[in-house]
Structure 1
Amino acid sequence: MLALALAALSLSAQARENKKLDAAGIASANALATEAGFETLARGGNAVDAAISVATSLSVVQPEASGMGGGFLALIRDAATGKTVFVDAREMAPKAVRESDYLKADGTPNRDTSLNGPLAAGIPGFPAGLAHISSKYGKLPLAESLRPAIKLAEEGFHPTAALASSIERKAEILRRYPASTRKFMPDGKAPQTTGIFRDPDQARTLRAMAERGADGFYKGEVAQEMVKAVKAAGGTWTLEDLAAYRAKERAPIELAYGGYTVITAPPPSSGGVAIAEMLNILAPIDLKRLGETERTHYLIEAMRRAFRDHNEYLGDPDFVDMPLDMLLSRHYADGLRQSILRDRATKSEWLPAAHAPEPGMHTTHFSIIDKDGNLVSMTATVNTTLGSGFVAGASGILLNNEMDDFALVSGKPNAFGLIGGSANAPVGGKRMLSSMTPSFVIGKDRLAVIGSPGGSTIITQVFEGILAFIGGKSASEITAQKRIHHQYLPDRVDYEPGSLSDEAMTKLRAMGHTLNERSPWGNMNVVTWDKADHRLSAASDPRNSAGLGKVEAAK
């Protein structure tokens, strides 16, 4: 069992949370998806119904980042009861998974089969997760929530520059598969932003799901078509794999920090545990009183220690016994804090050995608060850009390449540099570890719904966003703030241009930190609620021109 640092909010805080708003807020990575969510709210839906509309619309308009052939992790909070649930719709390995499929003849890892084509694809959890939250927490029939996505797929839309660029970059892989070519390059080349992009095959699959719920995807004609296509291209999926998939509810991680309750994602997300560890390390330190250099130093050292543990211990909780009581303990954090030298960087090689992933910049996140104060924070993915590049026949479903998130070959790195061990080894029916970290931050008078894509940087982005919100920043300030990142290995501090002053960089280097400037990363979407003055704010990351954070009067 997870050890929860807090049992519940006080009754007085709960009463404030139950206040109704005269508006709703949605922040997503695509304006069409945000508007789809508001359309569903206007028809009487709640935040969960709107989340289904946003998620499925993103499957249509932002397939490079997420979709029906992938998975998601989500936090849902019911304003009436104060109950928060974590929904795990992460992909899982097919029963026939075997290491030999991901090896070349000489025994070295085969990066092609782990990243491209049907062997790279785990069994999708996205449709099952949406059907689950619709039936348990939505107000509208699932078919109503799917309506905006079906319309977008059938009538078409102007593709974003990011989608057109993603198709162009992955054209060689897409051309291997007729259904992928037909979907993404119907004229033999990547679509133009001035043209209309339609997806009639995915529209039919969405209609099957509207009529039959999860069974419309995991059983019947759609399932048969997907399995037929996967097997014809060398994959190992079976109808039994699809029929066996279930979304799961798990207890979220809760902890207290700075007078707020932070609610975040448990395993198979690695992010929530890492964020809890970092916040616990920093809890006794008054960051506001520190200068830039010292504050940055402590953030880096907290990141370093949390990432070492995150890569050493975590995996699918249904398959792996994890020392969560230890990792989430304030006493454990006290010991880690004592190992931080105030004026000198801790070299990662001084800590017990573990291996960390290189960051990936794909996935999507959206945040929602409805007029009743219900909250949804959802992060969804197909792993790398356009996933496996394999569209499963006439289903129109682009499959993920999440199998690469397993430690497929012991001791060998995956696409992001992760060298995993037994905790994240592939087993039929097992869910691969994820960095997705949908989160809530709830205080007496303010709350935030927060998350981002970005591979391993998701964890540090959300961590820094939580600190910024608790420090008083607005939604737009949180999404726009400059970022730093350290993930234990490689032993370096990545930083965005402008995130550190010249003086701080000179001092940090003198302390032994290795600094590495990188182009801006992430695509954060945040909604905040100031309950004291009844103000709702939504913001999308300014690094993404297609995103839209919007507050709209409740209908």
Structure 2
Amino acid sequence: MVFPRHLFSTTLSVLLAIVWLSTSLSAGSIPERFSSCAVVTQSELASQVGRDVMRDGGNAIDAAVASAFAMAVTHPAAGNIGGGGFLVYRAADGSTTTYDFREVAPRSATAEMWIDEDGKYDRDRHHSSALAVGVPGSVAGLHLAWSEHGKLPWKRLVEPAIQLADEGFEVTPGLAHSLAESHDRFKISQASLDQFTNNGELFAVGDRLVQKDLARSLERIALEGPAGFYEGKTADLIVEQMQAMGGLIDHEDLKAYRPVQRSPVTGTYRGHKIISMPPPSSGGVTLIQMLNILEHVNLREFGAGSANSLHWMAESMRLAYLDRARHLGDPDFVDDQPVELLISKPYAQEQHSKISPEQAGVSEIKQIQMLQESPETTHLSVVDGQRNAVALTTTLEYSYGSGIVVAGGGFLLNNEMGDFNPVEGVTTLTGQIGSQANLTAPGKRMLSSMTPTIVERDGELLMVTGSPGGRTIINTVLQTIINVIDHEMNAQDAVNYGRIHQQWLPDRIQYERNAFSPDTLNLLLERGHVLDQLGAQGSAQIIVVDPKNKELQTGVDHRRPGAAAAGF
């Protein structure tokens, strides 16, 4: 019997994930260390691109930009030029800023566009059609960050991605599995099938993925900057695709897109400074709120993975995610968000007093709930030799976004419009939310859970962290920080350790398989928690500055295949 190549690669990827889950959710791992600089991404090739940029004299921003473009080629499920994201930057002198290049709704979008002719919510229209494509922000956002902080020429940063697309690269087990798993979604357009199948067959491990049209699009970006994407030939190709498939984006939408530089949201946790992304990311506000609540309990004394620690973390998640759903949205449209209240210490004291040490709280649908987001995002962390640091999280929303490849352009378009709340006033247990702050409107950015974050200790850089995972992102980032600060784990242990997730509704704790002892789980059940086992949560890529010798420890998350660190 001949075992088909694509089935072998798919089976191998699944087996590797099972082996990882059964062996890695514990302490005792040795992190890779670099004395000067480091970059950690979901793609080994992209990490190497970032390292080479810094070796050639580039800084953390240069490396992040180059790695991000490389991931648009090597990690197409989430790396992108047709999506968006957030970047948090801390310079070596301690100054900080953020770049918001989240997608925006086209000018003709309306809050009622997700309702069908019978007055019912149409989920396919909201998530799986050309109507779900928001105006992309990645190219403009990366260029803005580079224009203010980069050292190397723009063209130099895009060239490695051009070469990878033009000459191709070997398909890894993880990519072969990912492409096979998403094959049906590529049937949405012939351009998608042409790009992500090997002459009509599934790609197998070792095959070469060549993306000539994407290389030409990247060349226009390299030569013209954002104008090479939002105007001219590439813009024409996007608009033609939208018109052919019933999408809304037109030339004026593309030309009008602007990234936004915003002040970070900041807080403190046990003397450490937390620097994270403000709205329209909900990540920074929710993260700081949870840390403020947990500051009132001794997690170190409880111990990592203990029932007490998990109970307090879950209850802080419950309360913070409720506030996230109630209040947060695009600050350019929602001007009454109580951000300062939500991240304040007095409010955390009030929230802490609502938590019973021995009994799980109760979530009620009338109070509102989270909208489900796709877990297919990607994060990269960079620290250079001067200790400039970048935390960058990008996404297409679903894995491979809308599944729509722009014919002649070679890149995928997002389906981020699915992150808007679909129907005002309607909240359901299945994940629909009806609060007004995140309803669709022309030019509006949809709320996100992406949480790129940087941590300081005594005024010096300590940690760069972030993760994919949709609605679980904030809680994954929370736990990497707690593992480093409270439990004094090294970077790799902090990434490997088991994770939980609570998001108000559904009212349950999700926990990773094999991560916690049966006794611990039983103690949580006795406190009234509902438990739900899952496979793996997130894929955090972190860097920690060793306080003793100032070396860079890298935490590479292998929950998803392909991640790697590079540096020197």
Match of 2:297 in 1: 285
Structure 1 residue 309 displacement after superposition: 0.3
Inter-partner Cα distance in structure 1 for 2:299 and 2:412 = 45
Q: Does the C-alpha gap of structure 1 residues 142 and 178 become closer, same or farther in structure 2, counting only changes over 3 Å?
A: same
User: Could you tell me which amino acid in structure 2 is paired with residue 234 of structure 1?
Assistant: G
Matched, 1:477 2:490: no
- The DSSP-based 3-state class of the residue aligned with 1:256 is strand
Matched, 1:454 2:469: yes
- Runs of 5+ unmatched residues, structure 1: 1-20
Structure 1 residue 115 displacement after superposition: 2.1
Q: Does the C-alpha gap of structure 1 residues 414 and 123 become closer, same or farther in structure 2, counting only changes over 3 Å?
A: farther
| Equivalences for residues 502-541 of structure 1 within 5 A | 502-541=518-557
Match of 2:266 in 1: 254
Inter-partner Cα distance in structure 2 for 1:478 and 1:446 = 17
8 A contact 1:486–1:494 mirrored in 2: yes
Q: CA RMSD in A?
A: 1.8
Structure 1 residue 452 displacement after superposition: 0.4
Match of 1:387 in 2: 401
Residue range with higher mean Cα deviation, 470-479 or 439-448 = 439-448
1:381-421 per-position Cα deviation (integer Å, ceiling 9, x unaligned): 00011100111221112100000000133355799824132
Match of 1:146 in 2: 158
Structure 1 residue 107 displacement after superposition: 2.5
- The DSSP-based 3-state class of the residue aligned with 1:394 is coil
Inter-partner Cα distance in structure 1 for 2:42 and 2:197 = 23
- The DSSP-based 3-state class of the residue aligned with 1:175 is helix
1:284-309 per-position Cα deviation (integer Å, ceiling 9, x unaligned): 22222236222221111101000000
| Structure 1 counterpart of 2:516, from 497, 500, 503 | 500
Q: Does the C-alpha gap of structure 1 residues 145 and 154 become closer, same or farther in structure 2, counting only changes over 3 Å?
A: same
8 A contact 2:111–2:439 mirrored in 1: no
User: Could you tell me which amino acid in structure 2 is paired with residue 493 of structure 1?
Assistant: I
User: Could you tell me which amino acid in structure 1 is paired with residue 58 of structure 2?
Assistant: G
8 A contact 1:363–1:380 mirrored in 2: yes
Inter-partner Cα distance in structure 1 for 2:428 and 2:448 = 13
- The DSSP-based 3-state class of the residue aligned with 1:254 is strand
Inter-partner Cα distance in structure 1 for 2:285 and 2:429 = 23
Residue range with higher mean Cα deviation, 407-416 or 224-233 = 407-416
8 A contact 1:124–1:400 mirrored in 2: yes
Match of 2:23 in 1: none
| Equivalences for residues 73-84 of structure 1 within 5 A | 73-79=86-92, 81-84=93-96
8 A contact 2:387–2:461 mirrored in 1: no
| Structure 1 counterpart of 2:480, from 457, 465, 478 | 465
Match of 2:5 in 1: none
Q: Does the C-alpha gap of structure 1 residues 347 and 414 become closer, same or farther in structure 2, counting only changes over 3 Å?
A: closer
Q: Does the C-alpha gap of structure 1 residues 359 and 509 become closer, same or farther in structure 2, counting only changes over 3 Å?
A: farther
1:60-90 per-position Cα deviation (integer Å, ceiling 9, x unaligned): 01111230000010101110x3111111010
| Equivalences for residues 152-163 of structure 1 within 5 A | 152-163=164-175
8 A contact 2:81–2:139 mirrored in 1: yes
Inter-partner Cα distance in structure 2 for 1:137 and 1:44 = 13
Size of the aligned set, in residue pairs, is 530
1:120-178 per-position Cα deviation (integer Å, ceiling 9, x unaligned): 11000000011111111100111100111111000101223333333333333322312
- The DSSP-based 3-state class of the residue aligned with 1:376 is strand
Match of 1:361 in 2: 375
- The DSSP-based 3-state class of the residue aligned with 1:356 is coil
Matched, 1:547 2:556: no
8 A contact 2:463–2:543 mirrored in 1: yes
Matched, 1:487 2:499: no
8 A contact 1:122–1:402 mirrored in 2: yes
- The DSSP-based 3-state class of the residue aligned with 1:538 is strand
Match of 1:440 in 2: 454
8 A contact 2:88–2:390 mirrored in 1: yes
Inter-partner Cα distance in structure 1 for 2:185 and 2:518 = 43
State TM-score, norm by structure 2: 0.90
| Equivalences for residues 368-379 of structure 1 within 5 A | 368-379=382-393
1:301-356 per-position Cα deviation (integer Å, ceiling 9, x unaligned): 1010000000110000100020112111111111111111121111112x960111
Match of 1:49 in 2: 62
Match of 1:308 in 2: 322
Inter-partner Cα distance in structure 1 for 2:400 and 2:501 = 25
Match of 1:201 in 2: 213
- The DSSP-based 3-state class of the residue aligned with 1:393 is coil
Inter-partner Cα distance in structure 2 for 1:416 and 1:196 = 41
Inter-partner Cα distance in structure 2 for 1:187 and 1:312 = 48
8 A contact 1:300–1:486 mirrored in 2: yes
Match of 1:127 in 2: 139
| Structure 2 counterpart of 1:229, from 241, 248, 273 | 241
8 A contact 2:422–2:433 mirrored in 1: no
State TM-score, norm by structure 1: 0.92
Match of 1:66 in 2: 79
- The DSSP-based 3-state class of the residue aligned with 1:503 is helix
1:505-549 per-position Cα deviation (integer Å, ceiling 9, x unaligned): 112111111111111121110111124312111121021331102
Inter-partner Cα distance in structure 2 for 1:484 and 1:475 = 18
Residue range with higher mean Cα deviation, 156-165 or 394-403 = 156-165
| Equivalences for residues 421-436 of structure 1 within 5 A | 421-436=435-450
Identity %: 37
User: Could you tell me which amino acid in structure 2 is paired with residue 78 of structure 1?
Assistant: A
1:409-462 per-position Cα deviation (integer Å, ceiling 9, x unaligned): 335579982413210001110000000000011113660100000011100000
